[in-house]
Amino acid sequence: MTQPMNKLKTIRWSSVIVMIAIIAMGLGTESCKSTGKMSKKERKAQIEIAKKQLASIIDGTSTLSLADQEKQVNDIINKKLNDPTVNDLIIQAQQAIKKAYANNEKLHAQKVDAAKAALLDMLLNNEGKSASELQKQLDVIKSQNLGDSEVNDLIYKVQNKIDGMRNKPALPVKTQLENAFQGIADAAKAGNPTEADNLIKNTLQYFSDPDAPVLIIIYRQGNTVDYDKPTTIQRYLNFCKDQKKSANAVDAIQQDASGKIKELDLIKK
């Protein structure tokens, strides 16, 4: 009876030992998975992927945003691949991202400065641009979304100016021309030939041709009318600039089918 009992005990202990070994192997496998250890094959593949990702950041071909590039580099660092080439590429990638951020800040500052200058010019509107022309220029600046408080303040002021121009009744062509003549003379008298030239350029847009004839009435009594020597609108505008004065008023305007002035009669003030 003793011998069979001994055999039974031996079998039971053998089973227990086998079970313990199986459990230990299972725990060992789970432990390996939880620590994130990679096989040599997996590590090699991860190293190659990391090299390609880092290289695209360094040479500027990455399609990711700078924030996502930073995250990508940090993910590679956290994998602890412990590869000399990868480690060197990580440093280069970090430097490339830092440089890219600096370039973006510099570019943004340049855009802000350019926008401020353009907006200030629009407020002055020395070139005499129309409300539509100013709005088109303003919309381009708005679309940049620069996020600068000074730029936003100027945008608000320019928009108010444009809205005011649109709501303001249009002056008669006669008044617009006489204002232009006086503006050219005043700009030249103030020593600002560039402004005078811009006003001349804008005034010519009213006419069908720079050589549109201009007749200046020097005497009129009843049906008797005497004219000065005929000139062209281009020459007359330059005359106002050279003389630094506007000595004539608009007497008659002839327009073509498109509304452009084809002939202009002036009279001594």
pLDDT for position 126? 77
Does some domain include residue 225?
yes
pLDDT beyond 60 at 36: no
Does some domain include residue 257?
yes
List 220's β-bridge partners, or say none. Answer: 225
Does some domain include residue 129?
no
The model's pLDDT over 56-99, given as tens digits with 9 standing for 90+, comes to 999 999 999 999 999 999 999 999 999 999 999 999 999 999 99
Does some domain include residue 229?
yes
Task: Taking residues 156-184, report their average pLDDT.
Answer: 90
195, HSE (Cβ side, Cα atoms, 13 Å): 19
Does some domain include residue 256?
yes
What percent of the chain stands above pLDDT 90? 75
Task: Taking residues 199-220, report their average pLDDT.
Answer: 94
pLDDT beyond 70 at 10: no
- How far apart are alpha carbons 135 and 132 in whole angstroms? 5
Does some domain include residue 102?
no
State the pLDDT confidence band at 258, using cuts at 50, 70 and 90.
confident
Cα 225-230-234 angle, rounded to 5 deg: 135
Over the chain, what is the mean pLDDT? 87
Query: Computed over its alpha carbons, how large is the radius of gyration of the chain?
Result: 41
CATH of residue 212's domain is 3.10.450
Cα 75-78-81 angle, rounded to 5 deg: 105
pLDDT for position 194? 92
Does some domain include residue 243?
yes
**pTM attached to this predicted model:** 0.44
Q: Which two tokens stand for residue 219?
A: 């005497």
CB neighbourhood size of 134 (10 A)? 21
- The structural domain count of the chain equals 1
pLDDT beyond 70 at 8: no
pLDDT beyond 70 at 172: yes
User: What domain range is 213 assigned to?
Assistant: 173-268
Q: Helix, strand, coil shares of the chain as percentages rounded to 5?
A: 65, 10, 20
Does some domain include residue 59?
no
User: Residue 224 belongs to what H/E stretch?
Assistant: strand 224-227
- How far apart are alpha carbons 103 and 106 in whole angstroms? 5
